[in-house]
Every structure is written in C-alpha cells, then in structure tokens.
Amino acid sequence: MKALVSLAAVLVLLLAAYVGVHLGDLRWLFGVVVPYFAAAVFLVGIVVKVIGWGRSPVPFRIPTTCGQQKSLPWIKQDKLDNPATGWQAMGRMALEILAFRSLFRNRETVLRDGQLAYRTNKWLWAAALAFHYSMLIIVLRHLRFFFAPIPRFVDVLTNVDGFLQVGVPGIYITSFVFLGAVTFLLARRLGWARMRYLSLPADYFPLFLFLAIGCTGLWMRHIDKVDVSQVKAAVMGLLVLAPHPPAVGWIFYAHLFCVSTLLAYFPFSKLMHLGGVFLSPTRNLANDNRARHHVNPWNRPLPVHTYAEYEDEFRDRMREAGLPLDKE
C-alpha cells in the first residue's frame, strides 16, 4: 500500500509531463519555471536545513567508539574506529562517507534451531555503494550539458564509462549499475517482511523517482533519441538566465520534471542524510573527552547535595562510627 501510493505519485508526475507537453503546450512551465523553482528550493532548502542543524550545539562528546581507545603506549589504538585527535576523526569520517564503513561492518543475526549466528552480510553495503557511486558518475557525466567546452575530466569519465562500446550510441555501465542497484534496494524493501514493516511511503517514493529518472534517461538515449544539441542549448540558456525550452519530445520533459521534483523534495526528506552524515556527533568527534576539556554552551550550575549538608544529616552516626568530621 505504502509502495503503491509512492508509485502512483511518480506515475502522476510522468503523466503530468505527458499531458502538459505532449497534449498541451506547457514547455515554458516544465522547461523553465519548474526547473528554476526546483533549483531554488533545493539550494535554499539545504542551506536552511544545515544552518538549522548547526544552530543546535553539540553539548557533549558522544562518539560511538568502535575500536581500541588510546590509553597505554603498548596497547595499539584503533585510530580510524576510535579516533583520539581531530585528524583521526576526519579519517574516520572519510572512511564512513567514501566507503560506508559502518555498513561494511554489518553482521546479520540468524536464529536457527535455538542457535544464534552472526553472519557477515555485505549486500546492503555493496548495493548502497553501487547506487551512490553510479549516481555520482551519472551526475558528473551530465556536466557536459552545463559547460562549453566540455571539461576534460567529463570526457574521460564518459569514455571510461562507455568502454564496452556496445550499441550506437554506446551504453554506459553506470546506467545499468544504477538501475540495478535501485531495483535491488526496492526489492529488498518489498520482498522482506521486516523491511516492508519498517518502511514508509517516503522510503519508496525516492526509489520510484530514481527509477523513473533512469528509465526516461535511457529511453532518450537509446530508443526515442533526443536532439542533444537542443537540450544543451536549453540548459545553457537556463544557466545564463536566457531561458528557452527546447523543442523536443515529452520524454525529455518527463525526465526533467522528475529531476526537478527530486531537487525540490530533497531538503525536506531523508535524502538530507547527504548533509547530516557530516554532522553526526557519534562519528565526527574524537574520543578525547578525558584528555581535553570541552565546553557545553548551555552548561549551568544545578542544585547539588553538598558534603556539608550530608555531614549535617549523618554527623552523629559518623562520629559514633569513628569517621572523620569536618565540623565537630
């Protein structure tokens, strides 16, 4: 049900582009107004969200330590999983962000015949890595539409990505890795009772949206080939604030509309983990709380039970027991 609603929402987006561009002539709306709006919401939304997070302080150092602490010289510290300095914490963050360290650690719990086992399971790690890196490369590939001349690294990347040289125009490996990974993540949610139970519509929606974006993209490249020069001219137009929607088929507009939706949805959704992962206090801090003093900005004196009050209450008994007293 939750998945169906999300799927329906994405289909409505596609339909809107079809009706608006193929049946009507709303190219200005879908090709200019919506993308501008989406880009603005994306940028402003992210900035507002990150500033909002930043406005709340980090009162305590609470790194989750996942390895040996730095203590005695003969005991080897695990610098990346239990950093003791800011640099080591940055190393930990790099590993987390670039290689998904924590997902790599995953061990699946298996209960069989009353026996528990914890099996290494790296599927989620592999799929997440494939998904994020293929998306990154696809985004970088698209930079060819944003620059004239095309930056060299984009060309190189594109050539490497298309090294198989199958079909005309050639297929890119990342396109299929991307769609494969999204499909896996979707199937994992749908086909596994536990995952289905904990998923929300907000978990399916982005996945369907990515599928729609990927499929419309492939469609334009391989089936209903779009006039790339027109598209590039239109994108450049948007960039220099001289917009003119390209005279191309509705599939392109569907692709663009989905991307616009993604951008506008981004700051309000779980996709903000992109920013949040940098700010997670259990990962980005060094475990140096005992070595260095840290300040909690809202620390304040609180009522305490002082020794004097304590001795006042128990003085007689303490005297009887022969315990030393501050006040006789």
Partner 1 sequence: MSQAHKPDELEYYHPEEVHRVDYQPPATDWRDTPTVFRPGSFIYPSKPKDLEHIGFPNGHAWHPTDEDWKLPENWKRIIFDGMRERLQKYRSFKVFMDICVRCGACADKCHFYIGGGDPKNMPVLRAELLRSVYRHDFTTFGKILGRWAGARPLTPEVLKEWFYYFYQCTECRRCSVFCPYGIDTAEITMMGRELLHLLGLSVNWVMHPVADCYRTGNHLGIQPHGLKDTLEFFAEDVEEVTGVHIDVPINKKGADILFVTPSGDFLAEPGIYTCMGYLALFHELGLNYTWSTYASEGGNFGLFTSADMMKRLNSKMYAEAKRLGVKWILGGECGHMWRVINQYMDTMNGPPDFLEVPKSPITGTVFENARSTKMIHIMEFTADLVQHGKLELDASRNDGRRVTFHDSCNPARAMGMLEEPRQVIKAACHNFFEMPEGTIREKTFCCGGGAGLGTDENMEMRLRGGMPRGKAVQYVQDKHGVNVLAACCAIDRATLTTVCDFWAPGVKVSGITELVANALVMKGEKERELNFRKEPMRDEVEAPPADSEEHPTVEAA
Give yes or no for residue 5 binding partner 1 (CB under 8 A).
Answer: yes
| 3-state secondary structure (DSSP) of residue 107 | strand
Verify binding: residue 187, partner 1, rule CB under 8 A. no
Place of tokens 């994306």: 42
292 is an interface residue for partner 1 by CB under 8 A: yes
**169 φψ region: left (φ > 0), alpha (ψ -120 to 50), beta (else):** beta
For partner 1, give the closer residue by CB, 86 or 276: 276
**The only residue of 29, 32, 46, 103 in contact with partner 1, by rule CB under 8 A:** 103
Residue 123 touching partner 1 (CB under 8 A): no
Binding pattern for the stretch 253-282 against partner 1, x by CB under 8 A and - elsewhere: ---------------xxx-xx--xx-xxxx
Shortest Cβ 4–partner 1 spacing (Å): 12
Closer CB to partner 1, residue 126 or residue 218? 126
State the minimum distance, in angstroms, from the CB of residue 137 to partner 1: 20
CB–CB of 21/250 below 8 Å?
Answer: yes
Task: Rule CB under 8 A: say whether 41 interacts with partner 1.
Answer: no
197 is a site residue for partner 1 (CB under 8 A): yes
Q: Of the listed pieces 11-19, 145-153, 198-206, 212-220, which binds partner 1 according to CB under 8 A?
A: 198-206
Whole-Å CA distances, 183 to 31, 180, 189, 206:
28, 5, 10, 12
Pick 148 or 326: Cβ nearer partner 1: 326
Report d(CA 204, CA 65) in Å as an integer: 32
Closest CA relative to residue 207, chosen from 39, 10, 1: 10
The span of 12-20, 27-35, 200-208, 243-251 binding partner 1 (CB under 8 A) equals 200-208
Give the C-alpha separation, 141 to 138, whole Å.
5
Quickly count: other Cβ atoms within 10 Å of residue 138's Cβ.
18
Q: Of 114 and 149, which CB lies nearer to partner 1 in the complex structure? A: 114
CA-nearest of 93, 97, 65 to 81 is 65
How far, in Å, CA of 57 to CA of 28, rounded?
44
Asked if 109 touches partner 1 (CB under 8 A), the answer is yes
Instruction: Please provide residue 112's backbone torsions phi and psi, each rounded to the nearest 5 degrees.
Output: -140, 130
Q: Is 95 in the site for partner 1 (CB under 8 A)?
A: no
Looking only at residues 46 through 75 of this chain, which bind partner 1 when binding is defined by CB under 8 A? 49, 52-62, 64-72, 74-75
Interface segment toward partner 1; rule CB under 8 A; list 22-30, 31-39, 76-84, 231-239: 76-84
Asked if 306 is part of the footprint of partner 1 (rule: CB under 8 A), the reply reads yes
* Residues in region 236-255 near partner 1 by CB under 8 A: none
State the Cα–Cα distance between residues 189 and 312, nearest whole angstrom.
Answer: 63
Number of residues that bind partner 1 (CB under 8 A): 96
Name, in order, each residue with C-beta under 8 angstroms of 268's C-beta and a sequence gap of 6 or more.
45
Which one, 49 or 222, has the nearer CB to partner 1?
49
The closest of 297, 282, 272 to 50, measured between CA atoms, is 272
